[in-house]
Amino acid sequence: MIHLYPFRPHHRLHAPAEFERVYRQGRRAGDNLFAVNALPNERGCARLGMSVSTRTVGNAVNRNRVRRIIREVFRAHLTELPAMDFVVTSRPGAKTAMRDAIAGSLQALIERATRPQTPAQSSTPRSA
RNA sequence: GGAGUCGGCCAGGCAAUCGCUCCAGAGAUGUCAAAGGCGCCGCAAGGCGUACCGGUGUUUUUGGGGAGGAAAGUCCGGGCUCCAUAGGGUAGAGCGCCAGGUAACGCCUGGGGGGUGUGAGCCCACGGAAAGUGCAACAGAAAGUAAACCGCCGAAGUUCUAGGUUUGCCUAGAGCUGGUAAGGGUGAAAGGGUGCGGUAAGAGCGCACCGCGUGGCUGGCAACAGGCACGGCACGGUAAACCCCGCUCGGAGCAAGGCCAAAUAGGGGAACAGGUCUGCCGGAAGCUUGCUUCUAGCAGCGGCGCGCGACCCGCGCGUGUUCCCGGGUAGGUCGCUUGAGGUGCACGGUGACGUGUAUCCCAGAGGAAUGGUUGCCCAAGACAGAACCCGGCUUACCGGCCGACUCCCAUC
């Protein structure tokens, strides 16, 4: 059982400019549920921003459901994450995804987005 | 008991635990002399000091609040804000039986009329077709100043034939012109309906009743209803076709808008220029001593541009160049939840609703909280998430509860 941590405003991204910065400069990883952009920050803790649209997820109720699950997953793993800004963008597959699927997807994507980039590997994983 | 109609209400529950957000209290800690308090100085304006009270952040803790009946669609109506104080006309849009309710409505209530159902009920875009224009496929003879295809008639006119004859004409038959909207047929619809009379056959041609129209009367605030008299059918349908009549409507929206403000262009002051325009006031020069010329300012009228949704009127704002001071995008903050507010009671009203009174405070986020996990229970949880706020309408929806009423069956 992991210990649970609070999730306060300074753990979130607020300004449009911050989102823009992560989109432009961050590393990107995605599957059919989400896309995750990650960019190191100077604040000493990880921060989360979400972009979940009704267009990809169906309706407003489902949008809230997906956002809450993302936030809970992020909160549960807050201490394990490096000091980076993450922006999670929904994709149509998230519409019907259950909680466990969302958690699994996010963990894998965060893993890929935060893994130190090694130039030799970048061309090979496709064939492997 | 079954089938159904109408109205109202609920929208999984409980517990533990981990979170988010707002409010209030308490503690810790940072910061602030801008505001209030306090102290000192000063006649006063005011100045100085002070973190004790206080303001404002962060954080801990305690307590409390935290999505809907549709929060939805954004289809109507308002409040609020800004634009001019919301002006006139045209255009445009909406609405359309009557009365009431309301802040207002295209909503609601009650009533009238029409349709529909055995019934409780339900449905209606329900002003005008004798202002004008248009439209009506196919079928049909004919689709609106009616019309003769089949049929009916043979009165009237006329021709032929036959018979009679007082030689004028008469009778019968056939035909033509013709008469006829009863019957058939076509069509969604064929120019009132039924019956009797009438007639050559027919026909509102006449009459009765019904319908329709006109005018009184009675009831009703009215829509309308009832009845009387007259008319003798003139007035077919379609206005969610144009249109006419009546009523209503300015526009944009909280990304409204106010304030504080990094960054940028526009704004205030000074100088120069101006449309050979007009007026007022001031100054200077000339002398003909009350006029001319020059010049500066203000106002008006022009011109140009912009705004007031479109157009016309009308209104407002700005005006070119150079030099000096002030602006308001990012961001923050307010707007932001106490309101046409909820609930109870009383009274008025058939009712929508109103009045009075008591009581309650019931989300307020802002890349956007209102949730996650675990366990238990059952009838196994639908549609679905506030974004300035209300009143409606419409649409979506697992089910459950309550009340009133109708029809059928059975029993007493």
Give this complex's ipTM.
Answer: 0.82
| pLDDT confidence band for A5 (50 / 70 / 90) | low
Reported residue count of chain A is 128
With a CB cutoff of 8 Å and minimum separation 6, the contacts of A60 are A54
A65 lies in some domain: yes
Q: What is the pLDDT of residues A26-62, one digit of tens each?
A: 888 888 889 999 888 877 788 888 888 888 888 888 8
The CA–C1' separation of A117 and B395, in angstroms, is 53
Residue A14, CA distances (Å) to A20, A34, A49, A85 in order? 11, 20, 8, 11
A122 lies in some domain: no
Token pair belonging to A20: 């823009």
In which domain, by residue range, is A76 found?
Answer: 12-114
Q: What is the pLDDT of residue A2?
A: 32
> CATH number of the domain that A85 lies in?
3.30.230.10
A29 lies in some domain: yes
* Overall domain count for chain A: 1
Q: What is the pLDDT of residues A66-118, one digit of tens each?
A: 988 898 888 888 878 888 889 999 888 888 888 888 888 888 888 888 876 54
Q: Yes or no: say if A86 and A46 are a contact pair by the CB < 8 Å rule.
A: yes
A7 lies in some domain: no
Q: What is the pLDDT of residue A82?
A: 84
Backbone torsions φ then ψ of A108, nearest 5 degrees: -65, -45
CA–C1' nearest nucleotide, residue A54: B385
Which of the 32-71 residues on chain A come under 7 Å of nucleic strand B at their beta carbon? Answer: 49-51, 59-61, 64-65, 67-69
A55 lies in some domain: yes
A126 lies in some domain: no
A27 lies in some domain: yes
| pLDDT confidence band for A124 (50 / 70 / 90) | very low
- pLDDT surpasses 80 at A121: no
Token pair belonging to A22: 């992560």
First-to-last C-alpha distance (Å) of chain A = 35
A23 lies in some domain: yes
